[in-house]
Amino acid sequence: MNPPDRKALIESFRAAAHRQIDQWVDQQVEMLTAQNIPTLRQMSDQFMQTRATLLGGCLQEMATRLTASYRHQELARCPHCGKSLKRHSVNAKTLHTMQGDITLERPYFYCRNCKVGFYPLDEALELAEEAYQYDMQEKMLRLGICHRRSETGLKTAV
């Protein structure tokens, strides 16, 4: 990517992130205009409940911009036999991350010779096959270990 393209990408993402911030601020209006000052705990809880709107939205915007070449991909080589393949379809996948949910449109390729289908974008982004991505899987595993240790009385060092 040459410098003018990078600058345009950054400015496009900046504008999209500002829109996400505006949406997130709109979620804070009730608290900001409440008759009584909310407690710090209430403010913190509100941030935790609404942060996925901001962070997930920004992650969606970034992923959409950075994966444009993959999303519009028409041809790919079979990873097994090397045959040139035309795009079979485009499929959406909703991904659950620690930052919030995002949805990606992914081109799908199928090799009739090898009877193998694949998504080049999934490989490029190192997506988990499951909807819950690796950051969420790791967090759930750690929470499970902590919960199990607390049930057994073991000290948790995770």
Model confidence pLDDT, tens digit, residues 101-121: 999 999 999 999 999 999 999
Residue 69, CA atoms < 13 Å, CB-side half-sphere: 5
Amino acid at the residue 7: K
Residue 142: pLDDT band (50, 70, 90) is: confident
Mean pLDDT of 10-21: 96
Domain enclosing residue 25, as ranges: 1-66
Does a structural domain hold residue 35? yes
Does a structural domain hold residue 108? no
Does a structural domain hold residue 153? no
Does a structural domain hold residue 115? no
- What pLDDT score was predicted for residue 102? 96
Residue 155: pLDDT band (50, 70, 90) is: low
Does a structural domain hold residue 19? yes
Does a structural domain hold residue 2? yes
Does a structural domain hold residue 6? yes
Alpha helices in the chain (DSSP H): 3-26, 29-32, 40-66, 68-71, 120-125, 134-152
Does a structural domain hold residue 100? no
Whether residue 49 contacts residue 79, with contact meaning beta carbons closer than 8 Å, is answered with: no
- pTM of whole model > 0.75? yes
In the chain, what percentage of residues exceed pLDDT 90? 85
Close Cβ partners of 52 (under 8 Å, ≥ 6 residues apart): 99, 100, 101
Whether residue 39 contacts residue 76, with contact meaning beta carbons closer than 8 Å, is answered with: no
Residue 38: pLDDT band (50, 70, 90) is: very high
Mean pLDDT of the chain: 91
Domain count for the chain, please give it.
1
